[in-house]
Amino acid sequence: MAYRTIEVTPIGGTMGAEIAGIDLARPLGNEQLAEIHQALLENQVLVFHGQDLTIEQNKAFARRFGPLVPYPFVKGLDDHPEVFEIRKEPDEEKNFGGAWHTDMSFEERPPVGTMLYARETPSRGGDTLLANLYRAYETLSDPMKRVVEGLKGVYSGDLKGRRGGRKALMDTTRFQTANVERAGEMEAEHPLVRTHPETGRKALYVSGSHLYRIAGMTDAESAALVGFLKDHAATPDFTCRVSYRPGTLVVWDNRCTQHRALNDYPGERRVMHRLTIGGGDRPH
Ligand code: SIN
């Protein structure tokens, strides 16, 4: 579509756009907001470089997409519990979000979107990769589409595919963690193919670290299909890559994307503020 109040430049072959011509610290008009919303639906992830935002301004912009919800496994900032800091120090090895996933897919109503605001970035590296789950669905063969359309996946907060689960992951970070002992109780079943409530498009709802089995299948059947779907949903042809500098703000739609944070900046610091946008539908 043609935009009047923002400049929209695609960054990937099938997803992602940079948005220019807008200062998110200033109050936005209804037309600007409507165009940003439309651009997100069309591109699945939007990147705004060069923004200078207070936490309040960052929260105010995020709320234009929906209510903010806390992330269950990390304590938020003291005065802003809906915002948490993803910080990796130069002497740390592991990063947060380094495996493919779509945020909080283990909830009954997973969040609509996620916003990251770059506070401090490494001199190079530290990008986020995102994958377009519409393309993941659309590129399946017709027989495979018929197989997955009738199936439900089981999504767990406990990272069951990872040795030691959620606890082992959180133990490698210096975050102030929360609810880690309850991670195994956080589980939901969702259709493997979900219909986006706003675009009406179908997406293959694969969340790399959370999807761990297919409801009703034997372990062997489930492992084979989950393995195939995870590989397929991370095909490079469906991805785009977001590079950051301080002041870059990114928002993505969790209903049709998954993502992973690259860990290719040894010896450097990366600090992001993450806000999670709730109000999502029950996938159907
Ligand atoms: C996340 O998975 O929420 C973090 C992504 C990133 O830090 O790039």
Q: What pTM value is reported for the model?
A: 0.95
Radius of gyration of the chain (CA): 18
CB 116 within 8 A of CB 128: yes
**Catalytic amino acids?**
101, 103, 259, 274
Q: Of all atoms in ligand 1, which is nearest to the CA of residue 262? A: 8
Say which DSSP state 259 is in: E
d(CA 244, CA 176): 25
Question: Hey, what's the torsion of the CAs at 122, 237, 169, 110, to 10 degrees?
Answer: 110
- pLDDT of the residue at 212: 95
- Shortest-distance Cα residue to atom 6 of ligand 1: 261
- Shortest-distance Cα residue to atom 5 of ligand 1: 261
- pLDDT of the residue at 152: 98
Q: Kind and range of the H or E element at 157?
A: none
For ligand 1, mutation pick of 73, 74, 116, 268 (most atoms within 8 Å of CB): 116
Please name which of 84, 255, 242 lies closest in space to residue 173, comparing C-alpha atoms.
Answer: 84
Task: Give the pLDDT confidence of 170-204 residue by residue, as tens digits.
Answer: 888 888 888 888 888 889 999 999 999 999 999 99
- pLDDT of the residue at 13: 95
E runs forming strands in the chain: 7-10, 17-20, 45-48, 68-69, 83-88, 113-120, 128-132, 152-156, 187-191, 193-195, 202-204, 211-214, 239-242, 249-253, 257-261, 270-277
Q: Of all atoms in ligand 1, which is nearest to the CA of residue 242? A: 8
Helix (H, G, I), strand (E, B) or coil at 192: coil
- pLDDT of the residue at 24: 97
Task: Give the pLDDT confidence of 136-169 residue by residue, as tens digits.
Answer: 999 999 999 999 999 999 999 988 877 788 888 8
For ligand 1, mutation pick of 69, 74, 83, 86 (most atoms within 8 Å of CB): 86
CB-based pocket (< 6 A), ligand 1: 86, 96-97, 114, 116, 128, 259, 261, 272, 274
Helix (H, G, I), strand (E, B) or coil at 30: helix
Rounded to whole angstroms, what are the CA distances from 128 to 7, 96, 242? 22, 11, 5
- pLDDT of the residue at 64: 96
Identify how many contiguous H helices and E strands the chain contains and give both numbers: 6, 16
Q: Of all atoms in ligand 1, which is nearest to the CA of residue 114? A: 3
Residues of the chain with pLDDT under 70: none
CB 188 within 8 A of CB 240: no
Distance between Cα 128 and ligand 1 center (Å): 7
- pLDDT of the residue at 158: 84
- Shortest-distance Cα residue to atom 4 of ligand 1: 97
User: What residues pair up with 77 in beta bridges, in sequence order?
Assistant: 80
d(CA 254, CA 96): 17
DSSP string, 48-75: E-S----HHHHHHHHHTTS-EE--TTB-
d(CA 221, CA 230): 14
- Please state the length of the chain: 284
